[in-house]
Amino acid sequence: MNSAIILAAGKGARMKAELNKQYLVLKDKPIIAHTLTVFENCSLIDEIILVINPEEKEICKKRILERFKYKKITQLVSGGSERQESVHNGLNAVDQRAEIVLIHDGARPLVTSKIIERCVQGAKAYGAVSAGVPIKETIKIMTKDRFVQYTPKREDVWITQTPQAFRIDIIREAHDFAIRHEVLGTDDAMLVEHMGAKVKMVEGDYENLKITTPEDLIAAEAILGYKRRI
What CATH number does domain 2-229 carry, 3.30.930.10, 3.90.550.10, 3.40.50.80, 3.40.190.10? 3.90.550.10
Domain ranges within the chain, ordered by starting residue = 2-229
Q: What is the distance between the alpha carbons of residues 31 and 212, in angstroms, rounded to a whole number?
A: 11
pTM of the model: 0.94
Q: Give pLDDT, residue 226.
A: 80
Q: What is the distance between the alpha carbons of residues 71 and 74, in angstroms, rounded to a whole number?
A: 8
The pLDDT tens digits of the residues spanning 51-103 come to 999 999 999 999 999 999 999 999 999 999 999 999 999 999 999 999 999 99
Least confident of 41-50, 130-139, 187-196, 218-227: 218-227
Mean pLDDT across the stretch 140-164?
A: 96
In the predicted structure, residue 142 carries a pLDDT above the cut 60 = yes
